[in-house]
Chain A
Amino acid sequence: MNRAVKRLLSFAAALFAFLSAGCSNGGNTVVGPPPPPPTGNFSNSSLNGQYAFSMSGTELCAGQGSFFARAGSFTADGSGHITDGVEDVNVCTGVFTLPFTSSTYSISADGRGTLNLTNSTGTTTYSLTLTSPTQGFVAQTDGNATAGGSLQRQNPAAFSNPAIANGYVFDVFGASSAANPESIIGRFDADGAGSISLGLYDSNEAGTPSGQQLFPAGALYQFDHTFGKSGRGVANIAGHNFAFYVVDATRLKLVGTDFPEVFSGEAFAQQSIAFTAASLNSGLAFLLGGSSSSGPIATAGRFTADGVGNLSEIFLDENNNGTVTLLPSQGGTVAGTYTLDANGLGGGMATWTDTRVGTFTFIFYLISPTEAVFQEIDTGITSDGTLLAQTGGPITPASLAGDFAFVLSGVTQNGSNVDSNDFVGQLKLTSASGNNATGIMDFTEFSPAHQQQLFDIQSSGPLDITSPGTGPNTLTLTTTFPSPQTFNFTAYAVDSSTVFLVGVDNNRVLAGSIARQP
């Protein structure tokens, strides 16, 4: 399971490689050297039923890159055909609800595959990697845009107002009507009949926090009559209009339908308990992505909460548009505290100070004692993501050995271009020392002057685990095709099945995660 955000690798074998410079949809297409035959138990029959998806990324708009979002649902027949579906897209020309016509997909044995979704405006093509038949990661790889996200199998039994009841925690990120990056996290109660109450949220627009706010009047949710069979509905949350797609009663995918603002995110059923400081009593890892005053920012880390308001063993890796900050800093020490809101509704705040770097402040809303949405509110930083309890330690190379799906999003300084990137692929980890990680991936390099899709790009390198494995570990992946590149990551393990990654190179900002395949 992975709820991480939302920016690697190869043998040369140039003799066998081919580089096709044709135009699939937009830009150039590059295909890596033929990889070894994929192994595993996935096939077209692995994608069978209704799936909800959501993603966000960068589109080309009047010669400029611009944030956009999409969410939707499709029905796969288990034989390579998409038989039904619909999506909502919020792009720079407006907001559109677009039904799919006949579409296709293919899944290979390793869970990697291709998805082609056709609507009245054309076909969008995605690369995907399944973590199981019920979920996976997805990236748009057709050159028209770049975007990354996830998909989950839907439970149609939850496609009704009564199924959506009780507490939900939500997290959406996007752009405000003033073109500022904005994160909104919070919680609300759904009554099972379309009404919302006890709505609370914290917004952060361009690094300016709102403070906790009540939902303005007008909050609601309602399944729609036209696309209700896709699990689609509409909602007003924290004063903003959304289309939602139900995964099941515990999870909704959200895409903003107001314009020119745009938001993408999810809502999760909240455990029905009175949250207190004692609710946080474990090690927790976090992954955040967003935008700062200077550009994209990605942050990962971990801390231990003691159940009474104190934080210890605080580690953090932040990449602020190429400027990498590590906590504890060299020669510095870090201490922190946290508080839970007195109303017991799961909101709270965590803050820590590094004696050399300064203070970091975050808002969270607990989904349960082991899971929360997490938002940084330091000046100039708009960033949000996931906070998950670290379980099942110690983390060792042996416990991590196996196959993983991964997704990464971010930007890379590519010559004079700053490309937006979305990567999706598979990573194989072994317990060997040295080169114990090998990967294969598809990704997009996307900027106004440069659009290129790369497929089957292979990588390898070491994943070094520092005992007990719950702190910062390092993953280095090197590609040789189409050009040599080295990607340096800090890896924070949530457990032996999920690891957060943050890129620590000065020329790129990447964040993502790996999730175990069966």
Chain B
Amino acid sequence: MQKTTLVRISVVLFALLLVLGTSVWAQKLADRPRAASMRSLAYDATQETMVEGTVLSYTAEAATPPIGTHVQLQTASGTMDIHLGTGSYLDANHFSLAKGDSVRVVGASSATRQGTIFLVRLIQKGGQSLALRTAKGAPLSFAGARTLSPAQRAQLASQAGPR
């Protein structure tokens, strides 16, 4: 048998062993739920809606949970309590709101003991739009700044070290 043939057979046998090995281990993987219980204040991306309305009030100091910025929004179907996350995230992105502003928001409603709250993923005012949550509904105030462009990172790194 030629050497190249031997090598090919060896490669095929090795690949087969790998596949079998993986298969055996796959059978040993525990059965886990891929979607667990829907809890209060969870963002359900399958229930996303777009809402338009007028800002009745804006506060960065929540009187009731959740902590963060709340807007009372007058919509065609009534008044909504919408949650925008931390006010500093809006400030850092030069996004401001005031009574009387017309806004369009994309998000999902969530029932809480205090009532229903609308968790906003995207907000648009005039020609300005801002993402507040990831596609999975996580607040971008947690780590959204890590998705800066390389140029932005380089500029920041030149201003301050990694302390």
Contacts and interface: CB of A to CB of B under 8 A. Distances in A.
Interface string A331-357: 000000000011100011100000000
B92 A62 contact: yes
Summarize B's interface: helix, strand, loop or mixed: loop
Contacts of B83: 294
A230 interface: no
B92 A293 contact: no
B157 interface: yes
B61 A200 contact: no
Given A214-B29, A325-B40, A361-B36, A94 B66 contact: no
Contacts of B37: 358-361, 378-379
B39 A64 contact: no
Given A89-B162, A179-B143, A292 B42 contact: yes
A322 B140 CA distance: 18
Contacts of B36: 209, 359, 361, 377-379
**Interface range for B:** 35 or more
Interface stretch (A42-50, A151-159, A409-417, A487-495): A409-417
A294 B66 contact: yes
Interface string A441-476: 000000111000000000000000000000000000
Contact of A64 (B26, B34, B44, B141): B141
A377 B42 CA distance: 12
B41 A378 contact: no
A295 B139 contact: yes
A122 interface: yes
A401 interface: no
Contact of B38 (A96, A180, A379): A379
B134 interface: yes
B62 A214 contact: no
Contacts of A418: 67-68, 86-88
A209 B33 contact: yes
- Greatest chain A CB density within 10 A among B62, B92, B162 is at B162
B19 to A, nearest CB: 13
A121 B39 contact: no
Size band of the interface chain A makes with B:
35 or more
A213 interface: yes
A212 B29 CA distance: 6
B162 A91 contact: yes
A66 B145 contact: yes
Contacts of B140: 179
A341 B27 CA distance: 12
Contacts, number: 254
A163 B59 CA distance: 56
Contact of A413 (B44, B61, B134): B61
B139 A294 contact: yes
A358 B66 contact: no
Contacts of B41: 292-294, 320-321, 323, 380
Interface string B59-101: 1111011111000000000000001011111011100000000
Interface stretch (B3-11, B48-56, B148-156): B148-156
Contacts of A64: 88-89, 92-93, 141, 144-145
Interface in B108-151: 110, 112-114, 119, 133-148
A206 interface: yes
Nearest to B44: A379
A272 interface: no
A317 interface: no
A359 B37 CA distance: 6
A259 B134 CA distance: 18
Nearest to B144: A179
A214 B26 contact: yes
A291 B144 CA distance: 13
Contact of B153 (A93, A98, A293, A509): A93
Given A180-B136, A293-B138, A363-B32, A124 B163 contact: yes
B1 interface: no
A300 interface: no
Interface of A: 61-67, 89, 91-94, 96, 98, 120-122, 124, 142, 144-145, 174-175, 178-181, 200, 202, 205-214, 259-262, 291-295, 320-323, 325, 341-343, 347-349, 358-361, 363, 377-382, 411, 413, 415-418, 447-449, 506-509
22 contacts: A61-B156, A64-B141, A66-B144, A67-B143, A92-B146, A94-B153, A122-B163, A179-B147, A200-B29, A208-B35, A212-B30, A212-B31, A260-B147, A293-B137, A320-B40, A320-B65, A343-B28, A361-B33, A377-B33, A380-B38, A380-B39, A380-B43
